Amino acid sequence: MPVETEAAVASVLMTGEQYEESLRKMKFKVYLQGERVENPVDHPIIRPSMNSVKMTYDLAQDPQHQDLMTAKSHLTGKTVNRFCHLHQSTDDLIKKVKMQRLLGQKTAACFQRCVGMDAINAVDSTTFEMDQKLGTDYHARFEKFLLKMQELDWTVDGAMTDPKGDRGLSPSKQSDPDMYVHVVERRPDGIVVRGAKAHQTGAINSHWILVMPTISMTAEDADYAVAFVAPADAEGIFYIYGRQSCDTRKLEGGTIDVGNKQFGGHEALMVFDNLFIPWENVLMCGEYEFSGTLVERFAGYHRQSYGGCKVGVGDVLIGAAALAADYNGAAKASHVKDKLIEMTHLNETLYACGIGCSAEGCKTASGTYLVNMLLANVCKQNVTRFPYEIARLAEDIAGGLMVTMPSEQDLCNPETSDVIKKYFQGVASVPTETRMRILRLIENLTLGTAAVGYRTESMHGAGSPQAQRIMISRQSNLQQKKELAKNIAGITDKK
């Protein structure tokens, strides 16, 4: 690390308001529900997701949370947002998970910057090793971008998942070559790419995108082994916003039926329509033998992430279920107490895996620390299961009213308001509106827009469950376990 002068350790952190204003200056091309969105920041469906990202900036300004939310840049010594930081120790990896839990608790939604943080850490070590072996200069290009990212406190969207088309065919064998992002032209000043990235978390709330290959490529798929950075509003990029359950409730102007009245997440299809990338922003172009390394490292970091963010949202859901039990008058029932214990057990098990794979991390050649890949995949494998059970138990405790109660408009209608307050009251000391609010929050977390970032994403985010099982098999060192058993059993291999 450089000598820390007063200037060197200065903060480069944006405030939440500055972040919001920076998005207003961008020229995104976004389509939502059949129309072009001129102002994504203030669109009622998109705005809650922006608020979630904004929280990552606001908490970094709070002295109470700066130890988790910020770090010292290994490049400049300046204080940077942890989402712009490369992990320099296992302590950094652990603080990452703790930070994600905190943000999950504060937003009860997806706060979207994790993908970019995981991407920069994977790209750092991969480009360093690529340059060492092949004599390329990708790592220097990446560090130049990283410096800019840290200095301007950018939100960067990591883009990995391609549409894939026919899963039984490799990228170059697809009937439509654009099913995977690929290079269509190499020029003296850069490359031109075409294709799309699907399920892109927080894309429209990002300043830049970092695009990576989605699978390990072979020689015949070299044109698809491409990684690069680009402004999120670059000419040649447009977005089609993903639909979520109950998303149009945000257009109604109320605060009860949306469940989570302030925060949310979003996904979008990111389309590259002959996008030009100057060479200085290209981080892989045909080096297919390193595509698998990049994919696996990104997946490892991102599977670690789920041991933090999903746990934080789980904390909110457990709290909501406990309140629902209070409001229903069922908090003292032994089976309700047992269900809350089970929910807590499952949630803390996820957290333990996130902390465990962090504490067992190791240093890569570039100096960046990598998680324990076996434990990271075990973490995510548990995430494909436990949140579903936590959600089921929350729905059980909440009761059927969660999905049958009238709307907020009916609650506010003078002709029906008193009837609703009378017949949907639980414990007499708790206003009916209060009970409705907590039930709508549970609905939002288990069935509504937040379920995209909690329950459903728990299954498919950071790769399918089978992808984690493949990695667990690779990392399990089964032969060593056989040798341990033979040693204990007194078995000697005879030749």
Task: Give the model's pLDDT for residue 478.
Answer: 94
List of residues 6+ apart from 246 with CB closer than 8 A: 257, 258, 259, 443, 444, 447, 448, 449
pTM: predicted TM-score of the whole model, two decimal places: 0.95
Task: Give the model's pLDDT for residue 256.
Answer: 97
Q: Where do the H-state alpha helices sit in 229-333?
A: 291-328
159 bridge partner residues: 211
Task: Give the model's pLDDT for residue 414.
Answer: 98
Rounded CA-CA distance 454/310 in Å is 6
Task: Give the model's pLDDT for residue 453.
Answer: 77
**Joined tokens for residue 313:** 């949202």
| Sheet (strand 282-285) strand order | 156-159, 208-211, 226-231, 282-285
Task: Give the model's pLDDT for residue 3.
Answer: 36
For the chain, what is the mean pLDDT? 95
Complete domains list, the chain, with CATH: 16-292 (2.40.110.10), 299-482 (1.20.140.10)
Distances (CA, A) of 298 to 43, 215, 308, 339: 32, 11, 16, 35
Rounded CA-CA distance 463/453 in Å is 14
The segments of the chain whose pLDDT lies below 70 read: 1-10, 495
Q: Which of 139, 136, 231, 236 lies closest to 196 in space, CA to CA?
A: 236
Distances (CA, A) of 205 to 156, 209, 216, 271, 381: 9, 10, 29, 16, 28
Distances (CA, A) of 253 to 107, 108, 345, 406: 20, 20, 37, 16
Task: Give the model's pLDDT for residue 10.
Answer: 59
Residue type (1 letter), 98: K
Residues identified as active-site: 110, 114, 201, 267, 302, 306, 309, 457
Kindly report, residue by residue over 375-430, the tens digit of the pLDDT.
999 999 999 999 999 999 999 999 999 999 999 999 999 999 999 999 999 999 99
Kindly report, residue by residue over 59-110, the tens digit of the pLDDT.
999 999 999 999 999 999 999 999 999 999 999 999 999 999 999 999 999 9
